Structures are given as C-alpha cells and as structure tokens.
Chains A and B, each alone.
Chain A
Amino acid sequence: MISRIWRNTHFLLAISISLFLIIASISGAILGIEALIDQTKPQSIYSLESQSLKATMEALEDQFENVYEIVVTEKKFVVVQGITSNGFETFYVDPRTGIKIKNVSPSNPFFNHVRSLHRSLFLKKTGRILVGIVAFLLFLLSITGMILLVKRLGGVMHFFLPLKENNKYRKVHITLGKWFFIPVLIIGISGAYLVIERFDGFSKKESKIKKYEVGEKKLNLNTLYLSDIKRVSYPFSNLKNDTYTIELKKRKVIIRQGDLSIVNDEIFHVHQILKNWSYYIHTGESNVFIAFILTLSSLALIFFVISGLKISSQTSWNLLTPNSNNNKEAHIIILYGSETGNSFKFAKKLTKALRREKHSVGLKSLNNYCVFPKAKKILVLTSTYGDGEAPFNANDFERLFADFVQPYPIEYSILGFGSKSYPKYCQFAITLEALFEKKFNFNELTPLFKINNQSETDYLIWEKTIINKLKT
C-alpha cells in the first residue's frame, strides 16, 4: 500500500508539472551554459578573496578622476563607474590595477528572453507563481523519486551495485535518479525559495539596524575583501559628512568619508542571506563547478521527463483508468498483479480474447480480491517485484485471500511474469501457487506457467491452452 502511495504521488506530481518542467529544464540548461560562458570571460576575476577594498580603492584613484560606484557582480565581474579622462564611463576593471578590461555591453537579449521564460514563462506575476509551485513540486518529486529508487534497488546498500533492468527507459530513469537526486532536490528547493522571497513571503521580518555616533566605530577597509562586497557607492560630494554606502553579502554599512566612521550598520535578516544562497546555488553564476552541475541536471531533467513518460505510459496511465467491472455476474475472474503495467496489459488482452469467446469475464487487481458470487474460474497474471515480493497492487492479496470464501468451487490457473536475470524468477507467482493449492475448494486448471521477459509467443501458447481448457 505504501509503495503504491509513493508511486502514484510520484506519477501525479510528474504528470502535473511535466510540461513546465520541460520548459524550465531547457531554459535552465541554456542559462547554465550562459553562466559557464560568462565565467570564462576576461573580466571574471578569480582572486576576489584576497583583494581588499582598500587596495582596490587606491588602485582606482590612479585611473579615475572621480569614482562613483564599484560593483562586484554575481559573476565575479568588477564594474566601476566614474569619471575618467574620457568623461563619464562604466567598464570592467581589474581590481588589482584599476585598469580597464573592457566596456560593459548590455546583456544579451536572447539570454534575457530565456531568463524571462525560465522565471515567469513570459506571464509576469502569474508565471512566477506557477514556476514557484513547479519548483516546489520538483522538490517533492525528487523525494518521492528517491523513496521509490531505494525501494526498487532493495535498500540503500544496493545503491552502487550494477543495475538489472532490461527496459532501457527504466534503466535511464533509475540511473539518472541515482546521479541527479541531490542536484535536482537542491534546484527545486532553492528555486521555490527564490519565488517565495520575491513575493514578500517574509516581509514582516526586518533587518537589524545599528546606529553609531560620529567616530564611535570605524570600518577597516583593509579587512574587507571584494568577495564579500556587492556594491560600493561613493559619496555624492566632498563634504565631510557625505557617506559611502557599502553593500556586503550579509549587511549594509554606511560610513562617513572623512574618518570612515560607521553611521549605520544594517545586518540583513536570515531570509536575505538564504535568498543570496539560493541565488548562488540556483544560478551557478559565480561558480563554474555549480554552473556545470546545473547544466547537466537540467539536461538530465529533460531525460527524466521523457523516460518517465515512457515508463508511465505503460503503467500508471493504465492503473488510473477504471477497470471494466461486471465481477458480480462474471463466471471467469482475471486477477492481475502488476508493478510496471505489463501484466495488466496482458490481463486486458486475455479479457478481450475470452470475451470474444463469449465468456463473461471480470478483471480485477489482486488487491481487489473479494467474493465473486458467480465465479467458477480464476485466472491470475502477476509479475514479481524486487526480491520476490508482490507488485504494489497485489501486496495485500494474501490477507484478502484468507478472508474471503468463494461460493462455488474454483478452478484456477496462474501465469507468472519475470526475468531470468533475477535469482527469484517469478517468485511471487510461485508463492501464489502454494497459497491456492492449500485453499479449500480450489483446484488447478492448468499448472503454473512462467514467462521470461514478457515473451509474446509464450503468452499466446498459454492463452491458447486456457481457451481450449475453458471449452471443455
């Protein structure tokens, strides 16, 4: 039952966001590539951690008549705005020398469009909310996916063992799940946080502001490094009381230009810091490694959706459609135990074939076993899950089978689906056979039949035997 909840939750989450997820992953991959490209540009400075603000300001004094602002972007570019011999200018500088690297050009319109799509699907506010919900659901999706993965592999210990799986889509889905569970989880939660933050999710919490008297506390610019700085805005005029505004990652300090004494020290609330962290980890703009992982994860997500849809088209879709039920009247009951939907597919096939032969047939999953008032034959088609266990819609069968007594004597036949690559080949079908044998008034119609790797020809052989048996 539990396994069913996880699987169905996983499926429903995935279906509801798959379209958005495709859009977000494609645009995300493009943005990841942009972040990678940007960090190879000459203005990307890697030694910001060792470059003090004091040294930078002194270097700039040589090159500028008047500095207006220093900005350290998320991409680790240092931009300076001010008056040079050419007038008012804005350009990327090397903070060690203050020398111009190149002009700032407007951001690429293509990437802007992609960013806008990624953030809001071009739908402004509505789009942002949608994207936020999708991000949060992605977070849940990765958790349910992880639970299913651990179950599928038969425990955390089996995580690094080679995978036995014949279906290539399932194989892709599982392998990607192993590799990308953590990055996808982080992408989901950080993305969701960025949206919540944006909509004033925490607006009641204000940052702490400390005010100081003139000369009470001074700021040492030698111990402030560019890696901590976001923006330094210079004083407007030469007046002694005019101030610098220094915006750091975790606080904002306003200092007097005369003696560098602090006027105002604003320590950001933790949500601001979380936002910065989310931005850092979600965009990878300042870390090549993160940008690389993000790009890969985005690509992986595209394959997740495709392979997920491929697998689910055989499974969950079927499981969500209501069964055709005339079980109260049916003489023949077909029971299926299906994990991936294959056994169910064959069960439906059998139902059709028997109905063509004018039999009255009822179709139910093993977990829906109950009293069948007119049934005289029961045909079971089941696969085996994991280590010889029941598929999710058969895991309650043993209890039900013990509880209900059928009014007529029953002739039964069991068909097991499995793969010889597993040691416990068709184990659940074997378990069922043992149960049926012991049951009062239950008699074998045909012996247990096993099918390897869903062989169509083997199935048809069995089907023919059954049809012939039913004629007699």
Chain B
Amino acid sequence: MKTFFSFLLLYFLLLNSSVEEYVEVKCMLEIVNYRGEGAYIAISVINKSEQYIKTVYVFGDDKSWFSEMKSFWRNLRENNLFLDKDFYPLVDAISGPTISGSERRLFQFKIPKNLFNSNYNLRIETAVEDKGYYVNDININLNPENLKKIYQGEGFINKIQFSAVDK
C-alpha cells in the first residue's frame, strides 16, 4: 500500500512538472485578393537550423492537401506527426475548406513560454494549389516585441497582426 501511494505521489509530481506554460497570441490574418482554391496555411515555431519545434496552427482541414506545404509536410512525415492525435486540435476547424482570396480571419494560438526570447522563429508558410508555395510568407524572430506588430507577407498573406494575450 505504501509503495502504491508513493508511486501515486511520484506520478502527480511528474504530471505537474510536465505542465507547460503558454503565451496566448491573438492574430488577425488577411489574405491577398486572388481567385481559386483556398490557401493552406501552417504556423510553426522553428529553430535557427530551420527544424520544426512545434506547429501551433493550421488552416485547411483536408490532410490530403498538406503536401502542398512542402517543408511542413516533410516535417510531418519525418517525425511521424501525421499520426499524432495531438496534431488535429491545431487544425483550424472553423475554416473547413481553407481561406480564400481577400478573406480575413481572427483566431488565437498558443506558444510554449520557453520558446520565447531564445533562438526561435515563427514561420508562416502558405500554399495555394497550383498558384504557388511560400515557405517563409512570414518569418519573424519569436519575442514579445515582434508579436505586437503588423506585418505584410511575401506571398498570400496581405496583412497579419499579432497581439500577445497575457493571462
């Protein structure tokens, strides 16, 4: 019985220590005006050597088109994230069939606090079927200052505005 309780105690200790702290980021995204299929968008934290640390948001809920976002797709494949049950909650359920030209979205994602103020970047890659793929549509250093600004993307992102929501 004693050993059982000590195991239980150990278990709760481990559980507590594994709780991560997050920064909530509110985000407004505006797509450039184009016609055709909706854009697929992935927002991820990467390190200096461009390795994917964490994907925080995805637009477009049909997995079969994820391969259009080539770099993101490679990461999913290499790390078997494709099968990850934790992955789907990141997919924007509301968008359904992606974002289309000139549309605007308001949403929120969370980034682990320990990824701030170190050598990490926030990458937003976008792809539209047969209209192109931008691996660094937005690529900014991940720090609180940067997440207070408005950016213009290189590709399908017309405008993006962040604000970190402090709890």
Partner of A107, one of B36, B37, B62: B62
Contact with B along A65-95 (1 / 0, CB 8 A): 0001101010000010101000110100000
Bound Cα distance from A206 to B22, whole angstroms: 43
Tell me the dominant secondary structure on chain B's binding face: mixed
Bound Cα distance from A274 to B64, whole angstroms: 28
Q: Is the CB of B94 within 8 A of A90?
A: yes
A158: Cβ under 8 A from any B Cβ: no
| Inter-chain residue pair count (beta carbon < 8 A) | 69
| Stretch among B41-49, B73-81, B99-107 lining the A interface | B99-107
Tell me the dominant secondary structure on chain A's binding face: mixed
Bound Cα distance from A325 to B69, whole angstroms: 61
B86: Cβ under 8 A from any A Cβ: no
* Total interface residues in chain A, CB < 8 Å: 34
B8: Cβ under 8 A from any A Cβ: no
Given the known interface contacts A68-B106, A104-B94, A247-B103, the answer about A116 and B64 at a Cβ–Cβ threshold of 8 Å is yes
In the bound complex, residues from chain B placing their C-beta under 8 Å from that of A197 are: 35
Given the known interface contacts A112-B63, A124-B130, A233-B105, the answer about A69 and B161 at a Cβ–Cβ threshold of 8 Å is no
What is the chain B residue whose CB lies nearest that of A242? B28
Given the known interface contacts A69-B105, A113-B64, A234-B106, the answer about A106 and B93 at a Cβ–Cβ threshold of 8 Å is yes
Q: Is the CB of B106 within 8 A of A106?
A: no
B71: Cβ under 8 A from any A Cβ: no
Q: How distant is A72 from chain B, measured CB to nearest CB, in Å?
A: 11
Q: Is the CB of B64 within 8 A of A236?
A: no
Q: Is the CB of A69 within 8 A of B93?
A: no
Bound Cα distance from A116 to B62, whole angstroms: 9
Q: Is the CB of B94 within 8 A of A81?
A: yes
Bound Cα distance from A71 to B99, whole angstroms: 13
Bound Cα distance from A245 to B94, whole angstroms: 16
Q: Is the CB of B26 within 8 A of A73?
A: no
Q: How distant is A229 from chain B, measured CB to nearest CB, in Å?
A: 14
What is the chain A residue whose CB lies nearest that of B27? A236
Q: Is the CB of B37 within 8 A of A90?
A: no
Contact with A along B135-166 (1 / 0, CB 8 A): 00000000000000000000000000101000
Q: Is the CB of A200 within 8 A of B104?
A: no
Which residues in chain A, 332-379, are within 8 Å of chain B measured between CB atoms?
A: none
Q: Is the CB of A107 within 8 A of B106?
A: no
From B26, B91, B110, B161, residue with most partner A Cβ within 10 Å: B26
From A88, A197, A203, A237, residue with most partner B Cβ within 10 Å: A88
Q: Is the CB of A107 within 8 A of B96?
A: yes
Q: How distant is B37 from chain A, measured CB to nearest CB, in Å?
A: 7
Contact with A along B103-138 (1 / 0, CB 8 A): 111111110000000000000000001100000000
Partner of A237, one of B35, B88, B110, B163: B163
A105: Cβ under 8 A from any B Cβ: yes
Which residues in chain A, 208-242, are within 8 Å of chain B measured between CB atoms?
A: 231, 233-234, 236-237
Bound Cα distance from A465 to B106, whole angstroms: 88
Bound Cα distance from A323 to B161, whole angstroms: 74
Bound Cα distance from A105 to B61, whole angstroms: 10
Q: Is the CB of A90 within 8 A of B129?
A: no
What is the chain B residue whose CB lies nearest that of A201? B35
Bound Cα distance from A87 to B109, whole angstroms: 11
Q: Is the CB of A88 within 8 A of B35?
A: no
Q: Is the CB of A88 within 8 A of B24?
A: yes
Q: Is the CB of A90 within 8 A of B93?
A: yes
Bound Cα distance from A203 to B163, whole angstroms: 35
- 11 A-B residue contacts at CB 8 Å? A73-B96, A81-B106, A81-B107, A104-B93, A112-B64, A116-B62, A116-B64, A124-B130, A125-B130, A200-B35, A200-B36
Q: Which residues of B contact A (CB under 8 A)?
A: 24, 26, 28, 35-37, 61-64, 88, 91-94, 96, 102-110, 129-130, 161, 163
